[in-house]
Each structure stands twice: as structure tokens, then as C-alpha cells.
Amino acid sequence: MQILKASVVVVLVLCVASVSSAGQVGIVSGVASPGPDGHVVNDIVVTSADNVGGQQLVVNLTAGTINQDAFGSDLPPNEALFGAFPNVVNDTFVGMGGLSQGSNPGTLVVGNSGLAGGMAPDSAALMSATNIDITWAPGGGVNVLGTNTLARVTLSNDAAGSWRLVSTERGAADVNIPLSDGLIGGGVMSIVPEPATIALSLMCLVGLVGFTRRR
């Protein structure tokens, strides 16, 4: 009985440690407002335990389109444009926490990601109407810690497809935040847990149930 209790405690400690030591990726989705009409804004939010490092994102659509505002770029939009061109707020872009040029820490766009499913390695395009394939990182001397929006992906509300994010933290050694794979439906990006995360969650649940029944 003591061995069983000790095993359960070890499992629970591992569960807590895995949650606290690794960063987390989340998606915040909502209707594009002020616009463009008929689009969904998806903010990729990363919570890191250490300074954020390089990021790699691939988005592949089989239906619908990625919003590319005429006054935007690959980085957060210039707030000086918001009054005259309000829809630029919901352009598709990557960054290091800010949703506008003035609030965004220095961001270096490196190029294509090299991830499976991305564009051809020699492609000059980082974002198109149906694909994103981009790598970005903090600029020199920039430290980004905590919870930050690292990308905004605005999709038409009929968009469908898949996406993948590889996110790293910079500490004593570079650490990969658990890989995020996801699906897209109705313009909304959702996360599909990786098999290792599902297995750990089930192990935690079994350990907790076993501990409760034996008390």
C-alpha cells in the first residue's frame, strides 16, 4: 500500500512539474472588429517560463483565405494608420507581444520555417492568401517573458485547413515548448494535443482516481 501511494505521488508530482516547467500555447479567436467583415481573428498566445526564442509557423488552407491587408506587412501594423484604415488592426502578422508597431518589441523575421508542409525553401513568400510559412525571433537585446500574443492570423469565416507552431524558450539552454498542431474550421484555429500530452493527461487522471479511491 505504501509503495502504491508513493507511486501515485510520483505521478502527480510529474504531472505538476510538466505543467509548470513547459510553456503553453493557446488560441484566442473572435469576430474581426472593426473588420474586415466575414472574418475571424485568431491570436496565437504563448506563455513562457523563460525568455521567448525563435518561432516557426506554418498555415495551410484548403478553403477560404488569409487576410492580407493592403496597408499591413508581416509585422504588427503602424498605429498611425488605425484612424484612416481601421481594418489594418486585423491584418495577419507575427510579433513579440505587441499588436501594433509602437507596442511590439523588436522582431526579426528570419525567412521560411523549413517545417514539413511549408512553402518551397526558395520561396520568397512568407505569407499568401492560402499559406503562411515564416520564422521570427526577438531582435538583438530584446527579452520577452510571460504571456504574449506572438501572431495574429485573420481568416475568412469559411477557411479550413491545418497549422503548426514550433516555439522555443531561451534560457540556460534552448527549450522547445510542446509542439502545437491544429486544425482550422469556419475560420477558427483549434489545437490538437500531441500524443505525449494526451498520454500524460491520462496517466495523471488514472493516478488521481486511484489515489482518491484508496483514501
- Is residue 63 in some structural domain? yes
pTM recorded for the entire structure: 0.80
Q: Are 83 and 140 within 8 A, CB to CB?
A: no
pLDDT value at residue 21 = 46
- Is residue 16 in some structural domain? no
- Is residue 17 in some structural domain? no
- Is residue 210 in some structural domain? no
- Is residue 9 in some structural domain? no
The interaxial angle of helices 195-213 and 2-21, nearest 10 deg, is: 140
CA distance 59 to 161: 8
Pure H helices in 104-194? none
Count of domains observed in the chain: 1
- pLDDT truncated to tens, each residue of the chain (215 aa)? 544 344 444 333 334 344 444 578 899 999 999 999 999 999 999 998 889 999 999 999 999 999 999 999 999 999 999 999 999 999 999 999 999 999 999 999 999 988 877 776 656 689 999 999 999 999 999 999 999 999 999 999 999 999 999 998 886 555 667 677 899 999 999 998 754 444 434 444 444 445 445 55
Q: Please tell me the chain's helix, strand, coil percentages from 3-state DSSP, rounded to the nearest 5.
A: 20, 40, 35
- Is residue 84 in some structural domain? yes
Nearest residue to 169 (alpha-carbon basis) of 192, 191, 137, 196: 137
pLDDT value at residue 115 = 85
Beta-carbon contacts of residue 122 (< 8 Å; ≥ 6 apart): none
C-alpha of 101 from chain center: 19
- Is residue 49 in some structural domain? yes
Q: Which domain holds residue 30?
A: 23-192
Pure H helices in the chain? 2-21, 195-213
Task: State how beta strands 160-170 and 51-63 pair.
Answer: antiparallel
Looking at residue 152, which CATH number applies to its domain? Answer: 2.60.40
- Is residue 118 in some structural domain? yes
CA angle, residues 128, 134, 135, in degrees to nearest 5: 165
